Amino acid sequence: MNSIKQEHISNFEQEGDSLKGHKNLDTFGGTPVFKDKLHVGRPNIGDRNRLLERINDILDRRWLTNNGIYVQEFEQRIAELVGTKHCIATCNATVALEIAIRATELKGEVIMPAFTFIATAHALQWQEITPVFCDVESSTHNIDPLKIEQMITPRTTGILGVHLWGRACNIEALSKIAQDHNLKLMFDASHAFGCSHDGQMIGSFGDAEVFSFHATKFLNSFEGGAIVTNNDDLAAKIRLMKNFGFAGNDNVVYIGTNGKMHEISAAMGLTGLDSMKDFIEINYQNYKQYQKELSRINGIKITNYNETEANNYQYIVLEIDKEVFGISRDKLIEILVAENIMARRYFYPGCHRMEPYHSYFPHNKTLLPETDQLSTKVMSLPTGTAVSLLDISKICQVIEFVRENRSYFQDTTEKSFIYN
């Protein structure tokens, strides 16, 4: 068994008994449950010796950027894994989005969800394209195809879907709308590397899809991104655009920018790809542990994954029903953070309520009821290779304790309680 996975399991088996006993919650003046902060999105690290071998080889070659051998290998392996003809690695996913948007000649208005990371909207607005925010489905958290058609205007040129939590959008419905209205279709697949839809790997849908390899993502290259597509002409244009428009030495044939991935990032990405199977198995174990332990707590709904599809299981996403759980999502996070469980709310308050969009489109606050509801309920818990099964049991015990003593947490200024 791989050492990464073995350590993950054995720590839980050996230390499980340490859950017994008492701790004073920090919320009431005691000691935090965790000595060190347990973050959402702490990087998955593969075989560091293999990484250092690659880095030493890069230094020996003295070829640090400009389409080196490691970038080429990284692109080839990604294209093979997702089943696309082309993969173009970039310095980060935001630049990848910007280049893909420009390469597909989007302009005017592009319809996208507001329930996503702000970079998706910024990539459009940065190029003076208006992001038209569409509501999402409460069941999937992805863009609602039924709401899209009513938002199409003569200025609409495309749809930008987001595969949230690695769960695919309704690709068939979006593809039909795009075809019927002659619109471009792109996907922000930042969460979805290693995931599939109807047995087909995400990456080959629409005109192009964009992956993120930021440090917090399932697969990281320290910082990085990639555009994948089956369109030969589009891929050729993107390659020009990410390297200042150069087609050979001293021959600039197109307007471009500096979006290149360097060799060190590619080396890290390749090292992650080597351990990708282990990362997924650990994430899956974590997901099942959370699913099992949270199922007994009323007022919490965990986002489930279709286990017949490939998934990276990188996100442990909860919805907190304040009326049933007894306190709000934000209060729960406040308590967890005090115990060094750095839970986060996603994607609060929604792109439409952030600037400049809140000022540009003030009417949006009446058009996105599902997004507004989700942004008050959704939160994410720590997972990944840096989180043990023992850690997860402790996290869930804290949450269960809060639920059982919910009436006290509405005023904690003069009370002290024991955590079992």
pLDDT in tens, 208-265: 999 999 999 999 999 999 999 999 999 999 999 999 999 988 999 999 999 999 999 9
Looking at the structure, tell me whether residues 96 and 193 fall in a common domain: yes
Give the tokens for residue 369.
């009821």
18-34 pLDDT, tens digit per residue, is 433 334 566 555 789 99
Looking at the structure, tell me whether residues 249 and 351 fall in a common domain: no
Looking at the structure, tell me whether residues 320 and 192 fall in a common domain: no
Looking at the structure, tell me whether residues 367 and 350 fall in a common domain: yes
Burial of 148 (0-12, 13-18, 19+ CB in 10 A): buried
pLDDT one digit per residue (tens) for the chain, 420 residues: 454 454 554 444 444 444 333 345 665 557 899 999 999 989 999 999 999 999 999 999 999 999 999 999 999 999 999 999 999 999 999 999 999 999 999 999 999 999 999 999 999 999 999 999 999 999 999 999 999 999 999 999 999 999 999 999 999 999 999 999 999 999 999 999 999 999 999 999 999 999 999 999 999 999 999 999 999 999 999 999 999 999 988 999 999 999 999 999 999 999 999 999 999 999 999 999 999 999 999 999 999 999 999 999 999 999 999 999 999 999 999 999 999 999 999 999 999 999 999 999 988 878 999 999 999 999 999 999 999 999 999 999 999 999 999 988 875 543 433 333
Looking at the structure, tell me whether residues 295 and 355 fall in a common domain: yes
> Final residue of a domain: which of 274, 289, 320?
274
Looking at the structure, tell me whether residues 247 and 299 fall in a common domain: no
Looking at the structure, tell me whether residues 67 and 34 fall in a common domain: no
CB–CB of 330/98 below 8 Å? no
Rounded to 10 degrees, the C-alpha dihedral 191/304/112/344 comes to -70
Burial of 368 (0-12, 13-18, 19+ CB in 10 A): buried
> Final residue of a domain: which of 251, 274, 297?
274
Domain that holds residue 79: 48-274
Looking at the structure, tell me whether residues 203 and 343 fall in a common domain: no
> Any idea what the CATH number is for the domain that residue 114 is in?
3.40.640.10
* Residue 135 to residues 115, 154, 273, 347, Cα–Cα distance (Å): 8, 20, 34, 13
Looking at the structure, tell me whether residues 179 and 80 fall in a common domain: yes
> Any idea what the CATH number is for the domain that residue 14 is in?
3.90.1150.10
User: How far apart, in whole angstroms, are the C-alpha atoms of residue 356 and residue 371?
Assistant: 18
Phi and psi for 15 in degrees, rounded to 5? -105, 5
Residue 356: CB atoms within 10 A of its CB come to 10
Looking at the structure, tell me whether residues 376 and 387 fall in a common domain: yes
User: How far apart, in whole angstroms, are the C-alpha atoms of residue 332 and residue 339?
Assistant: 11
Looking at the structure, tell me whether residues 288 and 260 fall in a common domain: no
> Final residue of a domain: which of 274, 303, 326?
274
Tell whether pTM > 0.75. Answer: yes
Burial of 50 (0-12, 13-18, 19+ CB in 10 A): middle
Looking at the structure, tell me whether residues 261 and 121 fall in a common domain: yes
Percent of the chain with pLDDT over 90: 87
Which regions of 66-190 does DSSP assign to beta strands (E)? 86-90, 109-113, 130-134, 156-162, 184-188
The structural domain count of the chain equals 2
